[in-house]
Amino acid sequence: IQVDGTIQAPADPSQMKAADQWVKFLYMDHLTLSGKGVFDGQGATVYKQGGAAWRGDKAGKIFM
């Protein structure tokens, strides 16, 4: 997968509805990420909101 732009998580985690992650790759063999792009998890914004993604509320996991 080549990423040359920005893949950005929602600034408001409630926009993800029932999803646990904003990026998910399943059942991959030999996955290669390349390019000059970035994955922006909106960390500072979500952290200020007390988001579960930073606290790891679901089964002790941290989600991105």
- The predicted-structure confidence for 9-41, as pLDDT tens digits, reads as follows 887 777 777 666 778 888 989 999 999 999 888
Q: Average of pLDDT values for 35-48?
A: 81
**Closest to 64 in 3D by CA, of 50, 46, 49, 48:** 46
Whether the predicted model's global pTM rises above the 0.85 cut: no
Distance CA 37, CA 25 (A): 17
